[in-house]
Each structure stands twice: as structure tokens, then as C-alpha cells.
Amino acid sequence: MSIAGALDYIRVIVDILLVWMVFYYTLKSLRKNVKLVLLFKGIVFILALKLISHVFSLTTIDYVLNYVLEWGVLALIVIFQPEIRNVLEQLGRSQLLGRHKVLTVDEREKVVYEIVTAMDAMRKTRTGALIVIERDNSLNDYIEKSKKIYADISSELLVTIFFPNNPLHDGGLIIQGDKITSARAVFPTSDSLKISKRLGTRHRAALGISELTDCIALVVSEETGRLSCAIGGELHYNLSADELKILLLNELKPKRSTIIDDEEEEEETTNNEEGDTHEEEK
């Protein structure tokens, strides 16, 4: 095979991979937007109907569908402009190489322990708090407009930040990996009709940012002290500290666990089982 032929094969492969990436990230963003999912189904239905009319020579329906396809694209762009903008924003926030840091088992457990300990302490004192944990979708747009911190995560620091007289307690706190990146972040509130009217701005902001990104948004209610978690546009309300801990450990697991992580988790599970056995024997 000549060099020119090899380059042609490489060009075709790269072309296919790029098309696949566009479709993959577009469909990944679409699946969380109900309106665009319905729109996508409608477009597929029209294209299927167009194919059927062409195969069976259905002249009238084919004539109508030609006009629909010709002018429908412009109409859809105008009607669904907000939804299309949200999808493009999500694609822009996506980190193609995944989150900036994949936590090890020990780091993940430490982060979860510090967060849950702080939230449990704030629950008892009814201190309102909003903590957002970044995953694959970047939160840099919100970080740029907030107060930068970049500090190690500790329960004491989290409680101090949300203390009512602290200048940083208003707004949300953003965590990237095992670091507190910023505080006083402002997030868009959700317009969902499913959320209870009794819930305040923090819960709506948590739900709003979880609808736009794949982050984990945690809330401590100032009125009731109840713990909540918003993921993927769904709000898990009134969680116990143990339920929140289990939820965070599961959600913060890397999507593609490495062999080392798997071995560490297996070793940790074995050690825990052996420890439980020794305790029972005593």
C-alpha cells in the first residue's frame, strides 16, 4: 500500500471518528432535555414518513413533507432557541478528557467524610448551605464570577464558610476534585414545576445547576435543617447523613475504574470484612 493510500484510510477513519464524537456528545446532551428529546423523536418520525412516501410514491404526502423539511429547520431554530443554546453550552462545558482529577479510593472517602461531617454539623445548627461538586462538565463559568479560595477540603472550613456572619456564606461553594475552588458562586434557579413551593432559593439553585451540568449539588435547609442532593435535574430530599454518604461515594466513582482502583476497593472490602469478623469473635 502506498503512502497516499494509507493517508486516505487515516483521513476516512478520522472523519468517521469526528462524526461519531459530534453525534455522541449531542445525544448525551439531548437525553437530559425533555423538550429536545421530543423534538428529536418528531424529526425522526418525519424522516421515516418521508422515506415511506418516497418508496411507495405517495405524491401528496411527499409534496407536503418537502415543504416541512424546507422551512421546518428555520422554524425549529426560532422556537427551540433556548433549548439549543443550553445544549451548546453543555457541549462547551464538557471536558473531553473527563474530570480534571480522578480521585483515588482514599481521597474519595476523605472528601465524602469531610463534606458529610460538615453538612451534618450544619444540619444540627440549621445553617443554610449550598455545595456543588464538579464532575465531567466544567463549572469554570461560575468559578470566574465567584470568590476564589483553592483550599483543601475540611469539615471545619466548610462550616466556617457558611457561618451566617461570614462574608462568603451567601451563594454556593464549588468543589473540584479534592479542593474547595471558590465560594459565593451564583447559579441559575430551576423553573421546574415539580419542585415544592415550600423549598427556597438554595434548592432551586441546586436543581437548576444540576439540570445544566452533571454536577452534584448539596443543600442544607436553613429553615428545617434537612439535607438534600440534586443530580441530573432530580432532587433527593430529606436524606440522612448515612444516605448522603452512600450516595456521594457511588456518584463520585470514576466512570472507568482503573485496575489499581479496583484492586484497592477489593482489598479495602476484604480488610473491612476481616475487621468485622475479628470484632464478632471478640
The CATH classification number of 105-254 equals 3.40.1700.10
Q: Where are the beta strands (DSSP E) in 114-160?
A: 129-133, 147-152
Query: Where exactly are the structural domains of the chain?
Result: 3-93, 105-254
Closest by CA to 232, choosing from 249, 253, 251, is 251
Q: Could you read off the pLDDT tens digit of each residue along the chain, which spans 282 residues?
A: 678 777 888 888 888 888 888 777 666 666 655 566 667 778 888 888 888 988 888 888 888 888 887 777 777 777 767 666 666 665 555 554 444 567 888 999 999 999 999 999 999 999 999 999 999 888 888 998 899 998 999 999 999 999 988 889 889 999 999 999 999 999 999 887 777 878 889 999 999 999 888 899 999 999 999 999 999 889 999 999 999 999 999 999 876 544 344 444 445 545 555 555 444 444
- Spatial contact of 94 and 168, defined as CB atoms under 8 Å apart: no
pTM of the model: 0.63
